[in-house]
């Protein structure tokens, strides 16, 4: 039967975050007390005015196929948003809508990657980047950070660029690390990219509204306008507006690239969800009070996690600057044994032990390209988060 499946799919790994989340669901269904901190999904309800926009669209009969690149009111809302919040000027032909930011990335890679093309992926990375590149016959080139850093630096970027490099994937705020690139750091990367005009940049900005402690979000074409034509801005409404299930993402960039991406999308999914597009237009148009409230709640939970987990022996972490994840070193637990006598030799062992012994689901760092780390999401109910973090502390304290 293995000969029946494509070599491209056989090369792929399932999403590590989805796999952990599914295991947690199965254990819950079997009656286990499990708290999942594995999935990056806001626990808040979609704001009421956004829901109402969807209901009104359905009542108007806006339930038919839309243009492959999205309805004009939503594309105009995207143009307005980019001008208002990011100082970026695009016209309607330079933006498009997809079924989630993940489809934007997929469309772009399908439209541009030939076998052997290289894509620079800074470590740690979102689990999907290398899988999509590899599926298409591209070569993921992992850019390891300098010691003590979780960000790509100009020197590291320069070392990884070759004549085969087609894209640089840049995610800020970063999943899983929470690192945020400042405008100055982006300009440093831009100086390297200016010397290599064949390299394009995919700027994954999906967590842009989730920054803390006075950090300021900047996107690459905003910090380095000279790279605007070579940058594809990727964004969506899932994270900031608590709209993960609505599946609306969008892209802004070169019109010719977007037309090619639209051709791909028209064959894969025809068009984005019609009613969800009207909801997304309402989200991007405001009001933004609830979004600000979401961010405030995440900021409080971020501090709560740090307060509790500082008591966990063997763990080491920094406060994330953005997104809603902690990326935590568990290196100090290696070589120790659980109460059941099982030795911890890797982050996978650590995560498995937390799940089976403490009932807390986390994602091993190996899934993000970094051994001996794990990721937790604090986009979850505060009381459940407190309980899960205390379980992690108790589990670490029980190791011998």
Are the beta carbons of 180 and 217 closer than 8 angstroms? yes
Question: Which residues, listed in sequence order, are joined to residue 202 by a DSSP beta bridge?
Answer: 169, 232
Does the pTM of the predicted model rise above 0.75?
yes
Residue owning tokens 């030939």? 114
The enclosing domain of 16 has a CATH number of 3.90.1150.10
**Distance in angstroms between the alpha carbons of the first and the last residue of the chain:** 46
Buried b (16+ CB within 10 A) or exposed e, 186-202: bbbbbebbeeeeebbbb
Give the span between the Cα atoms of 333 and 170, in whole angstroms: 31
The enclosing domain of 113 has a CATH number of 3.40.640.10
Extract the tokens encoding 398: 């029980």
Q: Which residues contact 286 (CB under 8 A, 6 or more apart)?
A: none
Residue owning tokens 């763990």? 315
Domain-located, residue 59? no
Given this model, what pLDDT does residue 303 score?
A: 98
Query: What's the structural domain count of the chain?
Result: 2
Extract the tokens encoding 292: 């600000």
140 and 73, same structural domain?
A: yes
Give the span between the Cα atoms of 379 and 295, in whole angstroms: 10
Extract the tokens encoding 5: 């499946």
Question: Can you give the pLDDT of all 400 residues of the chain as single tens digits?
Answer: 668 999 888 888 877 777 777 887 887 888 889 999 998 899 999 999 999 999 999 999 999 999 999 999 999 999 999 999 999 999 999 999 999 999 999 999 999 999 999 999 999 999 999 999 999 999 999 999 998 899 999 999 999 999 999 999 999 999 999 999 999 999 999 999 999 999 999 999 999 999 999 889 999 999 999 999 999 999 999 999 999 999 999 999 999 999 999 999 999 999 999 999 999 999 999 999 999 999 999 999 999 999 999 999 999 999 999 999 999 999 999 999 988 889 999 999 999 999 989 999 999 999 999 999 999 999 999 999 999 999 999 999 999 9
Nearest to 328 by CA among 295, 354, 357: 354
Residue owning tokens 């594809």? 232
110 and 41, same structural domain?
A: no
Range of the domain at 35: 2-45+290-397
Domain-located, residue 53? no
252 and 312, same structural domain?
A: no
Inter-axis angle of helices 72-86 and 274-285, nearest 10: 30
């Amino acid at each position: 039967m293995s000969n029946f499946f494509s070599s491209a799919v056989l090369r792929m790994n399932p999403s590590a975050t989805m796999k952990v989340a599914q295991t947690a669901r199965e254990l819950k269904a079997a009656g286990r007390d499990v708290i999942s901190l594995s999935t990056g999904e806001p626990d808040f309800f979609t704001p009421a005015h956004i829901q109402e926009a969807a209901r009104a669209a359905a009542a108007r009969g806006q339930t038919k196929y839309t243009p492959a690149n999205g309805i004009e009111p939503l594309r105009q809302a995207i143009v307005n948003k980019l001008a208002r919040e990011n100082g970026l000027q695009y016209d309607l032909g330079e933006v498009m809508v997809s079924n989630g930011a993940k489809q934007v990335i997929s469309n772009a890679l399908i439209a541009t990657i030939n076998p052997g093309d290289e894509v620079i992926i800074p470590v740690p990375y979102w689990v999907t980047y290398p899988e999509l590149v590899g599926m298409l016959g591209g070569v993921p080139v992992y850019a390891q950070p300098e010691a003590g850093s979780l960000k790509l630096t100009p020197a590291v970027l320069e070392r990884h660029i070759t004549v085969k490099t087609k894209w640089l994937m840049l995610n800020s705020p970063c999943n899983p690390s929470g690192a945020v690139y400042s405008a100055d750091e982006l300009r440093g990367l831009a100086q390297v990219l200016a010397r290599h005009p064949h390299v394009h940049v995919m700027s994954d900005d999906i967590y842009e509204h989730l920054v803390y402690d006075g950090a300021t979000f900047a996107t690459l074409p905003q910090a380095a306008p000279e790279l605007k034509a070579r940058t594809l801005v990727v964004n969506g409404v899932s994270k900031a507006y608590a709209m993960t299930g609505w599946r609306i993402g969008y892209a802004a960039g070169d019109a010719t690239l977007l037309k090619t991406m639209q051709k791909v999308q028209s064959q894969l999914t025809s068009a984005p969800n019609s009613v969800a597009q009207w909801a997304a237009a309402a989200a991007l148009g405001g009001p933004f009070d609830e979004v600000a409230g979401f961010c405030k709640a995440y900021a409080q939970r971020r501090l709560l996690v740090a307060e509790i987990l500082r008591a966990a022996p063997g763990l080491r972490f920094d406060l994330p600057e953005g997104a809603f994840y902690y990326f935590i070193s568990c290196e100090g637990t290696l070589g120790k044994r659980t109460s059941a006598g099982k030795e911890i030799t890797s982050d996978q062992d650590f995560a498995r032990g937390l799940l089976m012994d403490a009932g807390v689901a986390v994602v091993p760092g190996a899934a993000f390209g970094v051994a001996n780390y794990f990721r937790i999401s604090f986009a979850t109910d505060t009381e459940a988060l407190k309980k899960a973090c205390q379980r992690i502390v108790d589990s670490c304290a029980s190791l011998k």
